[in-house]
Chain A
Amino acid sequence: AQSVTQPDIHITVSEGASLELRCNYSYGATPYLFWYVQSPGQGLQLLLKYFSGDTLVQGIKGFEAEFKRSQSSFNLRKPSVHWSDAAEYFCAVGVSVGNEKLTFGTGTRLTIIP
C-alpha cells in the first residue's frame, strides 16, 4: 500500500519570501501525486497534480511542484508568498485503481508573517 509523509507540521514564512513544503511518498510504481490547499473554514482545493511527463508541474496561484523519483519526493514551491497563502496544505498519493485509494498526508499548516 502507498503512504505519504509531510515532515513539517507547521511552517512560518515572511510575506514575500520563498516557500518549499516537503512531501515524501512510498509506492512501488510511479504514483499519481497531488497537492491540495485548505483555507480556513473551506474545503480542499486542488493546486496541482502529477501523473507523468514533465517532472516540474505548474499549478494555480503561482505554485509549482517537482517530482523527484530518486528521492520519492514531490515538494511544493512558491517563489514569493502572499498573506492569502496562509492555509493548510495536503499532499496526496494515488494509485492506478481509483480515487478511493487516494492517501492524504497529515498536512502542513502555513503561517505568513508581515
Chain B
Amino acid sequence: NAGVTQTPKFRILKIGQSMTLQCTQDMNHNYMYWYRQDPGMGLKLIYYSVGAGITDKGEVPNGYNVSRSTTEDFPLRLELAAPSQTSVYFCASSYSGTNEKLFFGSGTQLSVL
C-alpha cells in the first residue's frame, strides 16, 4: 500500500517559473491537504479539498492554485515562483475531515532562486 505519494522530491526553480507538485493517494480518502513547512515554523495549510471537484483555501493560499478532478490526485500549482515560496511542501490525506489521523507524503523540497 503506497499511501500518499509526492513528486518530485526536490526541485529548483528560477523566479517567475511555474511548476506543479503532484500528490496521489491510494487509500480512497475524500480529504486532501497541502501544507508548507518553513524552518522553525509549524506546518501551514495552503489549500484543502473535501472531495473531487471541491477545494478551499487554507491559511496561506496566495501564489498557489489547486484542482481535484479525481479522488486520488490533488496537484498544487505554482504559477509565478517567488523566493518566498522556497519551502518544503507536504501533501496529506484523511478518511474523514474531523480531527482524524492525517497521512503524509514524504515531501517536496522546493528552492526558488
- Which residues of chain A have a CB within 8 Å of any CB of chain B? 4, 9, 32, 36, 41-46, 49, 51, 90, 92, 94, 96-100, 102-107
Instruction: Tell yes or no: B106 within 8 A of A by CB.
Output: yes
Contact check: which of A32, A49, A104 meets B43 at CB < 8 Å?
A: A104
| Chain A residue with the shortest CB-CB distance to B42 | A104
B56 CB contacts on chain A under 8 angstroms: 100
- Which residues of chain B have a CB within 8 Å of any CB of chain A? 4, 31, 33, 40-43, 45, 48, 56, 58, 90, 92, 94, 97-102, 104-107
Known interface pairs A36-B102, A98-B98, A102-B102; 19 further A-B residue pairs with C-beta atoms within 8 A, sorted by A's residue number? A4-B42, A9-B40, A41-B106, A42-B107, A43-B107, A44-B92, A44-B102, A45-B104, A90-B43, A92-B42, A94-B99, A96-B98, A98-B99, A99-B31, A99-B97, A99-B99, A100-B58, A100-B97, A104-B42
Complex Cα gap A107–B106 (Å):
17
Whether B33 pairs with A100 at a CB distance below 8 angstroms is yes
Complex Cα gap A96–B104 (Å):
21
**CB pairs A–B below 8 angstroms (28 shown):** A4-B42, A41-B106, A41-B107, A42-B106, A43-B90, A43-B92, A43-B105, A43-B107, A46-B101, A46-B102, A49-B99, A49-B101, A51-B99, A90-B42, A90-B43, A98-B97, A98-B98, A99-B33, A99-B48, A99-B94, A99-B97, A99-B99, A100-B33, A100-B45, A100-B58, A100-B97, A102-B102, A106-B40
